[in-house]
Amino acid sequence: MIESTMINRNSHHHIAPLWLYLAIGGALLVLTAVTITVSYIDLGGWNIVVALVIASIKGSLVAMFFMHLYYDKKIYTIVIVMGLLFLSIFISLTMFDTGRRGDIYEIKSEPIKPEADFYKELPPADSLDQTGHSEH
């Protein structure tokens, strides 16, 4: 994390060999075939897990070799990991709400229907058509 502003003046650019790019490309195509095939097998709740794991392997290959994270300074990896960390915070804390409504008090969440009082009290009641879709 701590970098000096004194930078070595002869930093060589890393040039990856041709076969590596082709091999990674090939691996990505194989993994695509695998994920499609697996999706037709019923694994119950595990389907989504397998799909995400395969996608993450593919994503890591792209990031590490095509985007050079594997060779580059660690700071770039840190930047991306931070993004994923905060995204997971976003998803999980939101899910604490959306997944657990009505836990303590027995209020069952129901879809609000067009005939609900809320909609009757809106001033331009005719702006809602019969399915409750707003006309704006």
Q: Which two tokens stand for residue 112?
A: 């609000």
Q: How far apart are the first and last CA of the chain?
A: 51
Nearer to other proteins, 4 or 126 (CB): 4
Which residues ranging from 75 to 104 are in contact with other proteins (CB under 8 A)? Answer: 75-76, 79-80, 82-84, 86-87, 89-91, 93-104
* Binding of residue 24 to other proteins (CB under 8 A): yes
Which residue type, as a one-letter code, is found at position 86? Answer: F
* Binding of residue 38 to other proteins (CB under 8 A): yes
* Binding of residue 6 to other proteins (CB under 8 A): yes
* Binding of residue 106 to other proteins (CB under 8 A): no
**Helix, strand, or coil (residue 134):** strand
Q: What are phi and psi of 36, to 5 degrees?
A: -65, -45
> 112 exposed, middle or buried (CB, 10 Å; 0-12, 13-18, 19+)?
exposed
Residue 3 CB, shortest distance to other proteins, in Å, is 7
* Binding of residue 108 to other proteins (CB under 8 A): no
Residue 53 CB, shortest distance to other proteins, in Å, is 10
* Binding of residue 32 to other proteins (CB under 8 A): yes
Residue 126 CB, shortest distance to other proteins, in Å, is 13
Place of tokens 């395969």: 54
Spatial distance between the Cα atoms of 76 and 45, rounded to a whole number of angstroms: 34
* Binding of residue 30 to other proteins (CB under 8 A): no
